[in-house]
Chain A
Amino acid sequence: MSDTIILEVARFNPEDGGEPSYQSYEVPLRPDWMVLDGLNHIKDQLDGSLAFRWSCRMGICGSCGMMVNGRPTLTCETLLMNYAPGPVRVAPLDHFPVVKDLVVDLDDFLAKLQKVRPWVVRKDDFKPAREFIQSPAQLEAFHQFSLCINCTLCYAACPVSGLDPNFIGPAAIALAHRYNLDSRDQGIEDRLDILSQHEGIWDCTVVGECSVVCPKHVDPSLAIQQFKLTATKEWFKSFLLPRGKH
């Protein structure tokens, strides 16, 4: 077996004003190397002009997501060996504007995330004297959806977020759902106002790929479908009892 592998890396320089292109680099193929180690080898030894994001190298910061052979992947936890003998194609995440090389612009995602109020919302004057007790069952209700690391692989996997840039998207909806299911939270009405719009949950057509690529098994697709059930229940309630609340 060869002890090197070819990485075909997407390059885009905003100052050139051109289209992105691929540049090939030969990097060592070591059994313990991740795709990210290959990229760092390029940056350190071969071509210092390559731009990409990374931080923790242990699948928790969520910043090294890229398209590896066309699939959204956390490069810090994917072995180069999996792609031997290569070549391996590394590109920036799909459906995001590209800033440079492998770096994508997350401003739009962060704005959407903020819109769904992913924090505990209280409507009352809540000043607990001690910690808020939650039972194991209450924790289990939302725990899975709280594991999101905002790596945005799900957006790159979701064709709807590519087709409709206004779609709030998998991770933001999963996090909104996480707080709706939290026994401390009272913000579900606020979030329903945002997410019951077309660009909220109703844009989703259950491709399901967000849940397949999620490195933390958050299952955003499940969260969105659950949210659709809730929104439908609310819709029928306000339809049958129009003067109830709205």
Chain B
Amino acid sequence: MSAGKRSNEPIVWFLFGTGGFFAAFFLPVHVLFYGLLFPTGLVHAPSYQETLALVRHPLARIYLFALLTFCFFHAAHRMRLTLSDVLNLRHLNTVLAFLCYGGALVGTAFTVWLLMTV
């Protein structure tokens, strides 16, 4: 491997790292409210109209786009490494990369479509 090719891993690592910050800073509060406090009724959930108005705000759309896209790639990269190292599926590396990053691209496409049509 003395005169080999430099890896293109930096691009996915960059997306993984950025998504890691988004996931760390913002996901806990999201799941806390939408997953626990609102469904259990501990905190009164805003109405359908209020939630829709919040999501339709341009800044909210930009925020959700960045959050979901980076988190999808963060998850994809880490899932690939988890499956290959922890579950020892290194021989399937190409398939795993295709599935994980492909899944993140599909997720990004859905994010763009939903945020534009909501």
Which A positions have Cβ atoms within 8 angstroms of B?
Answer: 115, 159-160, 163-164, 166, 192-194, 196-200, 202, 205, 228, 231-232, 235-236
- Residues of A near B90 (CB, < 8 A) are 163-164
**B4, A232: Cβ atoms closer than 8 Å:** no
Which B positions have Cβ atoms within 8 angstroms of A?
Answer: 1-11, 13-14, 81, 85, 88, 90
For residue B81, which residue of chain A has the nearest CB? A205
Task: Please pick, from A160, A193, A205, the residue contacting B6 in the complex, using a CB distance under 8 A.
Answer: A193
Task: Please pick, from A163, A164, A200, A235, the residue contacting B8 in the complex, using a CB distance under 8 A.
Answer: A235
A196-B85 contact, Cβ under 8 Å, with A115-B2, A232-B13, A232-B14: no
- Residues of A near B7 (CB, < 8 A) are 196-198, 200, 202
Task: Please pick, from A160, A192, A199, A228, the residue contacting B1 in the complex, using a CB distance under 8 A.
Answer: A199
CB distance from B20 to the nearest CB of A (A): 11
**B9, A202: Cβ atoms closer than 8 Å:** yes
**A236, B5: Cβ atoms closer than 8 Å:** no
**A202, B1: Cβ atoms closer than 8 Å:** no
Q: How far is the CA of A199 from the CA of B11 in the complex (A)?
A: 17
Q: How far is the CA of A228 from the CA of B8 in the complex (A)?
A: 12
- Residues of A near B8 (CB, < 8 A) are 235
Q: How far is the CA of A194 from the CA of B54 in the complex (A)?
A: 50
Q: How far is the CA of A199 from the CA of B6 in the complex (A)?
A: 10
**A205, B1: Cβ atoms closer than 8 Å:** no
For the residues of A in contact with B, the DSSP-based class is helix
- Residues of A near B88 (CB, < 8 A) are 163
CB distance from A206 to the nearest CB of B (A): 9
For residue A236, which residue of chain B has the nearest CB? B10
- Residues of A near B11 (CB, < 8 A) are 235
**12 new A-B contacts at CB < 8 Å, known A166-B1, A193-B6, A232-B14:** A159-B85, A163-B90, A193-B4, A196-B7, A197-B1, A198-B9, A199-B1, A202-B9, A202-B13, A231-B6, A232-B13, A235-B11
Q: How far is the CA of A159 from the CA of B90 in the complex (A)?
A: 13
**B85, A235: Cβ atoms closer than 8 Å:** no
List 7 contacting pairs A-B, 8 Å CB cutoff, sorted by A: A163-B90, A193-B3, A197-B7, A198-B7, A199-B1, A228-B13, A235-B10
Task: Please pick, from B1, B9, B81, the residue contacting A194 in the complex, using a CB distance under 8 A.
Answer: B1
- Residues of B near A236 (CB, < 8 A) are 10, 14
Task: Please pick, from B2, B4, B10, B85, the residue contacting A231 in the complex, using a CB distance under 8 A.
Answer: B10
- Residues of B near A235 (CB, < 8 A) are 6, 8, 10-11
**B10, A197: Cβ atoms closer than 8 Å:** no
